[in-house]
A = this chain, B = another copy of it.
Amino acid sequence: MKIILVAAVMLSHSFGESIKSKYEETSLKIISKSLTDSTAYNRLGYMCDTFGPRLSGSKNLENAIKWILKEMNSDGFENVRGEKVPVPTWIRGKESATLLSPFKKELSMLGLGGSISTPRGGLKAEVIVVNNWDELESRSNEVPGKIVLFNAPFTSYGETVAYRYSGASAAAKHGAVASLIRSIGPWSMNTPHTGVMAYDDDVQKIPHAALTMEDAMMLSRIHDRGDKIIVKLDMNARMVADRWSHNVLGEIKGSIYPDEVVVVGGHIDSWDVGQGAQDDGGGCIASWEAVRLIQELGLKPKRTIRCVLWTNEENGGQGNKGYRDMHMDEMDKHVLAIESDGGVFSPKGFGFSGNDSARKIVEEIHALMKPIGANTISEGGRAADVAPLNDEGVPVMSLKVDGSKYFWYHHTNADTFDKVDFNEFNRCVAAIAIMAYVVADLDEPLPR
């Protein structure tokens, strides 16, 4: 045993000083600074409370972006810029869903992003409730002329979101005049969830909206008792011409390899409800703050660290595609891209998509994050905005956090600044800062 241990230690040392011994002191400094600094937390609160939700194509979003560019400049970041991206623009307009029979009740609802409007004056129809795709198929003959309500219980976001994304065309194929879903979330306090949807090209477009879990379950019970349900749906939603938005970039230059880049970021757009605090204001401000702290601590990483706040993640992904396209010539210089888009709850570590040699190094860096509980490396670094970079060969990472409440707030009016805990948020900042700094400062770039 002893001999093997000695050999292992020698092997590790044969590549020079271990990551632990080289970066432990610095990472403790980063942790100590992040846990006590309130700059980022206050900035997140200010952004949430001043600009409101940040849907692609909205003035709110562009105002928030302008403010960030100004602040990044005053932080002393280099190459601060907004890179223009055309974004699809959907406008919710006024909307309502009213239960007319068996009794009158205003239903709490949110139209789904991309949905068309109802005819002017609204649309009144009987509702058929189905619990899944199979039931829609098997009851096909009852659907024509009706509103289909998909009352699918939440299993996982990945699975259940299909009703939101594809429900309208699925219902329209059977002759539905509109479709409703039970909000995609595991828990509700009369809280509807919005989110993106899309139409099949070859099917009649029909309006598509989300009810609260409570109302969807109620309508399902009424339906099961055999009572006739009539709902009036009135939506003024519309797509307008693409508008200009911007990816936000700001960086600190590498001291030795300035053309090699470690990217950290999140998406600066949100849905048009709540404040987009957890999705993804928190991820954006935490990434920005990670870079600012590295600078403020006087650390001089060998490589450039670039904060990228992508636009239009929620309903189009034009931000991440735009960034990839505009930076294609430096793709092989992208050493790592880190995304935070799962909320800024208690951090657990990072999901990683890259090769095994890189993974071993990343694992060693994780050990530095033990003091903040973020030392678990897992699979799956391909989040929405870094996936296009990964497709080009860039190793990518995704911050993993305690996700138990993420889908409570996701895409709702309850995704507000008060849901962000100061200490949890700051631990996310520390995790991103340590990972970005150490990878940017290694003697060799992460192997691909």
Q: Given contacts A52-B105, A105-B52, A225-B46, are A418 and B217 in contact (CB under 8 A)?
A: yes
Contacts of A409 in B (CB 8 A): 189
Q: Given contacts A108-B413, A414-B214, are A52 and B189 in contact (CB under 8 A)?
A: no
Contact with B along A251-285 (1 / 0, CB 8 A): 00000000000000000000000110000000000
Rounded to whole angstroms, the CA-CA distance of A413 and B413 in the bound complex is 15
Contacts of A217 in B (CB 8 A): 416-418
The answer to the question of A103 belonging to the interface, with a C-beta cut-off of 8 Å to chain B, is yes
The answer to the question of A118 belonging to the interface, with a C-beta cut-off of 8 Å to chain B, is no
The answer to the question of A326 belonging to the interface, with a C-beta cut-off of 8 Å to chain B, is no
Question: In the complex, are the beta carbons of B221 and A417 less than 8 A apart?
Answer: yes
Among A221, A274, A275, chain B packs the most CB atoms within 10 A around the CB of: A221
Question: In the complex, are the beta carbons of A414 and B190 less than 8 A apart?
Answer: yes
The answer to the question of A102 belonging to the interface, with a C-beta cut-off of 8 Å to chain B, is yes
Q: Given contacts A214-B418, A217-B418, A418-B217, are A190 and B413 in contact (CB under 8 A)?
A: yes
Contacts of A222 in B (CB 8 A): 49
Contacts of A188 in B (CB 8 A): 189, 414
The answer to the question of A408 belonging to the interface, with a C-beta cut-off of 8 Å to chain B, is yes
Question: In the complex, are the beta carbons of A103 and B50 less than 8 A apart?
Answer: yes
Question: In the complex, are the beta carbons of B189 and A414 less than 8 A apart?
Answer: yes
Rounded to whole angstroms, the CA-CA distance of A62 and B217 in the bound complex is 25
Contacts of A275 in B (CB 8 A): 218
* A120 → chain B closest CB, angstroms: 22
Contacts of A49 in B (CB 8 A): 218, 221-222, 225
The answer to the question of A191 belonging to the interface, with a C-beta cut-off of 8 Å to chain B, is yes
Question: In the complex, are the beta carbons of A189 and B418 less than 8 A apart?
Answer: no
Rounded to whole angstroms, the CA-CA distance of A170 and B277 in the bound complex is 34
Q: Given contacts A221-B45, A225-B46, are A189 and B412 in contact (CB under 8 A)?
A: yes
Rounded to whole angstroms, the CA-CA distance of A48 and B414 in the bound complex is 25
Rounded to whole angstroms, the CA-CA distance of A51 and B218 in the bound complex is 12
Contact with B along A281-306 (1 / 0, CB 8 A): 00000000000000000000000000
Question: In the complex, are the beta carbons of A102 and B50 less than 8 A apart?
Answer: yes
Question: In the complex, are the beta carbons of A214 and B416 less than 8 A apart?
Answer: yes
* A369 → chain B closest CB, angstroms: 30
Contact with B along A224-237 (1 / 0, CB 8 A): 01000000000000
Contacts of A189 in B (CB 8 A): 187-191, 408-409, 412, 414
The answer to the question of A61 belonging to the interface, with a C-beta cut-off of 8 Å to chain B, is no
Told that A108-B413, A189-B191, A214-B416 touch, could you supply 18 new A-B pairs with CB distance under 8 A? A45-B221, A46-B225, A49-B218, A49-B221, A49-B222, A49-B225, A52-B105, A187-B189, A189-B190, A189-B409, A190-B191, A190-B413, A213-B418, A214-B418, A217-B416, A217-B417, A218-B275, A218-B418
Q: 27 A-B pairs, CB-CB below 8 angstroms? A: A45-B221, A48-B218, A49-B218, A49-B221, A49-B222, A50-B103, A52-B103, A52-B105, A108-B413, A187-B189, A188-B189, A188-B414, A189-B189, A189-B191, A189-B412, A190-B274, A190-B413, A213-B418, A214-B274, A214-B413, A214-B414, A217-B416, A217-B417, A217-B418, A218-B275, A218-B416, A218-B418
A-B CB proximity, top 3 nearest: A189-B414, A190-B413, A189-B189
